[in-house]
Structure 1
């Protein structure tokens, strides 16, 4: 069994994974369990907990005729934590995590894609593992799509047959960014579903706090970041937070919340540049955004920017005059 975060290959044991017959590339990867925490909203937590409970009590439910197929569908935009959740599921259950590599599965040769799909399901059968099918929509689109070739429609049938062939102990987690194009027969084979969206306010607060390693006295600043980052994914928040911390370490300076706020506005992190005019313009734009678009009080905005309330009033006046 894997130790947390260490694949069996690292301990001297190498398992032969199925390969594409033409490219000789592996169709699956065995990934280590993740070290990063997974963040879910209240609905996601409830559904994930219910799935875990049913998995751990599968034999009892089966004895009463109440067991369901252990298949979980994750849908939602990129960067919301679908892959991470699959890793945490494997970790909590103490199972290997096999991830299908779509770049290897989809072949330019007619018939080879379906063959690759069959190889994956044949390999995981009976292994008491977690199989993660990322971007399932790439190989399981609706079969009534007139624009798709007959070969791709046969691939969908192969996926369905593969899912039906698995024993009850195998857990399948699938993810899609385009739930609306998945074949209906595929959906019916996933009785458990979690829909991911962009994190809500409370979840954004938790994400910023974690990735910035924020202290309690920074909670008010974290609250500002949470409100101004509406629409960002968890991956976006992680990227911005870690970039800000790296710059703080490299510059041997405290975390620059104004620059971090500016990075959110610009969708990029750039803490360099020492021109006072540039810094002043950044704080002016941030003051306008926080007060007028995020409905944050001027006093709270001043604390976030590290300036006086009078300075915030001046920034707002300058923005108004410039319009």
Structure 2
């Protein structure tokens, strides 16, 4: 443990609001613990200090980012914003994710919070992520949760503005976005990423799209800022092969397993009184549904109960909504046959 004199000075500096002295004393305590071979404790103390510094930095960056909002990149011809800015209060613990995916994301958060330690070794945290998988399985909300965890604004790219009918303007719009994120710290989120990153050797694609893919690859290669870039696609098989190598990590978001479905049911049913819910049987009946499908079924069940003045939700009411949703799925499947 730290010596009494260190602890006394630590508390005095805290009481006086002397941040620099507080950090200097904390560093001495951490160094002492390392000398005693208490590496785990020293690393944990260092992580806490870095996290505190990061929170202060994020607050300053948040103010700085807000001052940049009037500089949001715009399409030259339409004058529409190329990105939408949002903040998020969602956290990773609010989501029901596969355990492996959850571990990867928490490691990523720790890595980003420990950026100062990594930089002391000449390394930077990974900041390019590709999210793949079926629609409705949590890709977008996970990007929002990362933004919430790190208290960083999220920039949603607007493909209706980025993709221009004018030759060369789409690539130019992409450059504007990358130039903008160099000015602050953001999470840049490309949804439906395959729209600008399809295979260049496809005979169906014209020369302009190939130039757009080339431009994006160059921008990603040359980017060296502090912002985090997350791309999401439901059609990973359409991506150009060179795109995959540009991302530090590729994460697959699959439809929930039976145990995850049970968690989703319990989480969403907390909103309203329940009676005689057989979670095991319901979960079996919902295997193959996406996270968003299951949430929609439960919320529709609750809405119906409220409107019909029912005092509770039960198995039968949920199953009725499952039947309705199956009919909806048949329509979707016919359209896509």
TM-score by length of 2: 0.72
Alignment partner, residue 318 of structure 2 = 260
Question: Is the CA contact (8 Å cut-off) linking 1:133 and 1:173 kept in structure 2?
Answer: yes
Alignment partner, residue 34 of structure 2 = none
- Identify if the C-alpha distance between structure 1 residues 81 and 93 changes in structure 2 by more than 3 Å, giving closer, same or farther: same
Secondary structure class of the residue paired with 1:72: strand
Alignment partner, residue 249 of structure 1 = 306
Alignment partner, residue 144 of structure 1 = 201
Deviation per CA, 1:297-318, whole angstroms, max 9, x where unpaired? Answer: xxxxxxxxxxxxxxxxxxxxxx
Report the alpha carbon displacement of residue 15 of structure 1 after superposing the two structures with TM: 3.0
Question: Is the CA contact (8 Å cut-off) linking 1:80 and 1:235 kept in structure 2?
Answer: yes
Secondary structure class of the residue paired with 1:245: helix
Alignment gaps of 5+ in structure 2: 1-56, 329-337
Query: C-alpha distance in 1, partners of 2:113/2:212?
Result: 32
Alignment partner, residue 39 of structure 1 = 96
Aligned length: 265
Secondary structure class of the residue paired with 2:278: helix
Report the alpha carbon displacement of residue 23 of structure 1 after superposing the two structures with TM: 2.0
Report the alpha carbon displacement of residue 222 of structure 1 after superposing the two structures with TM: 2.5
Secondary structure class of the residue paired with 2:155: strand
Query: C-alpha distance in 2, partners of 1:173/1:13?
Result: 21
- Identify if the C-alpha distance between structure 1 residues 154 and 219 changes in structure 2 by more than 3 Å, giving closer, same or farther: farther
Alignment partner, residue 107 of structure 1 = 164
Q: Does 206-215 or 173-182 show the bigger shift?
A: 206-215
Query: C-alpha distance in 1, partners of 2:276/2:222?
Result: 51
- Find 1:234's aligned residue among 291, 308, 312: 291
Query: C-alpha distance in 1, partners of 2:314/2:162?
Result: 45
Q: Does 169-178 or 64-73 show the bigger shift?
A: 64-73
- Identify if the C-alpha distance between structure 1 residues 216 and 244 changes in structure 2 by more than 3 Å, giving closer, same or farther: closer
Query: C-alpha distance in 2, partners of 1:14/1:146?
Result: 40
Alignment partner, residue 158 of structure 1 = 215
TM-score by length of 1: 0.75
Query: C-alpha distance in 2, partners of 1:153/1:160?
Result: 11
User: Is it true that 1:19 corresponds to 2:74 in the alignment?
Assistant: yes
Alignment gaps of 5+ in structure 1: 271-323
- Identify if the C-alpha distance between structure 1 residues 219 and 126 changes in structure 2 by more than 3 Å, giving closer, same or farther: farther
Secondary structure class of the residue paired with 1:99: strand
Alignment partner, residue 57 of structure 1 = 114
C-alpha RMSD over aligned residues:
2.8
Question: Is the CA contact (8 Å cut-off) linking 1:72 and 1:191 kept in structure 2?
Answer: yes
Report the alpha carbon displacement of residue 224 of structure 1 after superposing the two structures with TM: 2.2
Report the alpha carbon displacement of residue 45 of structure 1 after superposing the two structures with TM: 0.7
Question: Is the CA contact (8 Å cut-off) linking 1:260 and 1:269 kept in structure 2?
Answer: no
User: Is it true that 1:95 corresponds to 2:140 in the alignment?
Assistant: no
Matches within 5 A, 1:1-323: 14-35=69-90, 37-67=94-124, 69-213=126-270, 220-253=277-310, 254-267=312-325
Query: C-alpha distance in 2, partners of 1:109/1:219?
Result: 60
Query: C-alpha distance in 2, partners of 1:135/1:17?
Result: 21
- Identify if the C-alpha distance between structure 1 residues 163 and 12 changes in structure 2 by more than 3 Å, giving closer, same or farther: closer
